Chains A and B, each alone.
Chain A
Amino acid sequence: MLVRERITSTGIHAVLIAYSLLALFPLALIVINSLKSKKAIFRDPVGLPVGEAFSWKGYASVLTNSDFPLYFGNSLIVTCVSLFLILLFGAMASHALSEYRFPGDTFLGLYLILGIMVPIRLGTVALLQLVVDLNLANTLTALILVYTAQGLPIAIFIFTEFLKSVSREIKDSARIDGLSEYRIFFEVVVPLVRPVIATVAVFSMIPIWNDLWFPLILSPGEETRTVTLGVQQFIGQYTVNWGAVLASLSVAILPVLIMYVIFSKQLIRGITSGAVKG
């Protein structure tokens, strides 16, 4: 029996390890090659950055010879502000949908979630027109607004399911304790669904950080480029500074990684335990 269990567990781990290797291989390749000279990249793409092959040049050109820090900052601002707005409005809308009964609530719920099925890129032309009309072209605000709209439906979808499961009695007991509906949301409901907030944050963050489409169309200006767009400057018509491209990509992975580490703690932690019977 024990032997069999061990075999099963070894099998599971083998599959998981194989999958991890597969998923991590391209990432590793980017990081390894970002630390090599251009020649070495082409001579031996999978070789390790040791000895002659090693070179800081990519990072040096990224950090000194370009506006990379500016792009990086733009990306951070856009991602963080959009994320904040998505989480705030998404959670509040879902709370309203799951907690209150009002005329048209089912319709409103469906309407808010419908966005999942409509690819926002289809509306690019109209969006661009709108942004220009609002004098928001080449601003980070334009990106933030679009990303918030893009992230809300899926956020509301996930939040609504979870907020419905928050015990009604806890909210009622807060009501009896005299909290206003806003404070019930912020002081009772939000702490209860922190793991869900973290999940939605990770889900919403990655497409925003990695997006190339909207920065290219809505704010390609020198001052408002994001990292993904900024990287393009190293890809010239005739030459490509591969060291710099790979170095900037490596640096761009960092914030996502950091955010993931922060949120993953929450992802795992079941904070509700003990609140209600269970």
Chain B
Amino acid sequence: MATLELSGIKKSFGAVEVIHGLDLQVKDGELIVFVGPSGCGKSTMLRMIAGLEKVTEGVISIGGKRVDHLPPALRGIAMVFQSYALYPHKNVRGNLGFALKHAGVPQSEIDERVNTAAEILELAPLMDRKPRELSGGQRQRVAIGRAIVREPDVFLFDEPLSNLDAALRVHMRVEILKLHQRLGSTMVYVTHDQVEAMTLADRIVVFRDGQVEQVGTPLELYRNPVNTFVAGFIGSPAMNFLRADTDGNSVRIGGAHLCELNSSAGELQLGIRPEHLTLNEDGALKGVVSVFEHLGGESFVHVELPDKQTLVAKLDGELSFAPGEQCTLAIKPSQCHVFDMQGRKIVPNTHAMV
């Protein structure tokens, strides 16, 4: 158990810089999630923390001790990989105990730690099987067990669930959350699944192109995204972005007044979450239904506005629309997010508005 500090981390592969100066403080016992699109440097950052890649510049400290010059085994970390990375020729017990055996831990203690991990992850009946005789979920549990056995200060997970099918992924997500509550260890978890990020994280770090866009609790990011990138990344279905204009105090789309704002006149972008739209005859957003998706408990209505912009609304599952039907939607002014044309948030706190 320990804190993790990253300061001024830069990483280049040859002439290409992929991480451009990253600072982050992870508190003791915190579960922090890195999210971002593919290729933005999440795995690279995690591998640098693990010691599998050298940092080009910057300092990594775990528990207040500088570790970026140490080999992986001495950093007090354990890592779980996307492909499980089990040793195929060793059975589950062998896989779990390998690191300890190698570190010269006495056999009695190895047995004890392996058995504890097996009990936590319900692996006891599988101890004598080889990895190829296990299902995907079981393999991933062994991989997590292998990390637990080492009793690390910091757990690192690199998309551990993305090879599993949807149902198992939900199950394992809960398992990881339970594990975090039980062990109370510091964890860094990489994913590009925003649902995983929202449900697991104490804090989320949103990456883009080797840079941190925003750090915050899931709700902070949901309520107060600093730019359109974060706003579009967090939440599902993704936030609608509509072109709007303002005369300085009223934000309008196609002439209809939506909310108020004090700024200079001009064009801007309005972010509206699908779940904040409601069906309302007096609403400001009138349009024609183009696609209607039924999901049982809820439904997604794709509406085309008169100025050809489309937006998605998440509505009640009892409703039904035919394509071509008229539809009028309303939004509370306080739930509008206003961004300038570069995508930066204009008003820091929408809740302060009328």
Contact = CB atoms under 8 A, between A and B. Distances in A.
Interface string B125-163: 000001111101001000000100010000000000001
> Which of A170, A172, A273 has most chain B Cβ within 10 Å?
A172
A195 to B, nearest CB: 12
B321 interface: no
B72 A276 contact: no
A271 B99 contact: no
Contacts of B99: 176-178
B89 A179 contact: no
Contacts of A274: 86, 88, 130-134, 139
> Which of A170, A174, A188, A275 has most chain B Cβ within 10 Å?
A275
A114 B215 CA distance: 53
A167 interface: yes
Q: How large is the interface on A (under 10, 10 to 19, 20 to 34, 35 or more residues)?
A: 20 to 34
A175 B72 contact: yes
B50 interface: yes
A273 B98 contact: no
B190 to A, nearest CB: 13
B288 to A, nearest CB: 45
Given A172-B52, A172-B79, A178 B103 contact: yes
A264 interface: no
A173 B163 contact: no
Contacts of B131: 274-275
Contact of A271 (B73, B79, B89): B89
Contacts of B132: 273-275
Nearest to B88: A275
A192 interface: yes
Contacts of A178: 71-74, 99, 102-103
B282 to A, nearest CB: 53
Contacts of A4: none
Contacts of B85: 167, 169-170, 172-173, 275-276
B82 interface: yes
Q: How large is the interface on B (under 10, 10 to 19, 20 to 34, 35 or more residues)?
A: 20 to 34
Interface string B63-92: 000000001111001110111111111000
> Which of B71, B98, B130 has most chain A Cβ within 10 Å?
B98
A180 to B, nearest CB: 10
Contacts of A10: none
Contacts of A175: 51-52, 71-73
A180 B81 CA distance: 20
Contacts of A177: 73, 98-99, 102, 150
A129 interface: no
A274 B131 CA distance: 5
A6 interface: no
Contact of A170 (B47, B78, B87): B87
Contacts of B78: 176
B84 A276 contact: yes
B291 to A, nearest CB: 34
A277 B168 CA distance: 15
Given A178-B73, A271-B88, A276 B102 contact: no
Given A172-B79, A274-B132, A192 B73 contact: no
B81 A173 contact: yes
Contacts of B79: 172-173, 176
Interface in A147-189: 167, 169-170, 172-179, 183, 188
23 contacts: A169-B83, A170-B87, A172-B52, A173-B81, A173-B146, A175-B73, A176-B72, A176-B77, A177-B73, A178-B72, A178-B74, A178-B102, A183-B102, A188-B87, A191-B87, A191-B89, A271-B88, A271-B89, A272-B88, A276-B84, A277-B82, A277-B83, A277-B163
Given A176-B73, A192-B88, A274-B86, 7 more contacts: A176-B78, A191-B89, A274-B133, A274-B139, A275-B88, A276-B85, A277-B84
Interface of B: 47, 50-52, 71-74, 77-79, 81-89, 98-99, 102-103, 130-134, 136, 139, 146, 150, 163
Interface of A: 167, 169-170, 172-179, 183, 188, 191-192, 271-277
Q: Which 7 A-B pairs have the closest CB atoms?
A: A274-B132, A178-B73, A275-B88, A177-B99, A169-B85, A274-B131, A169-B81
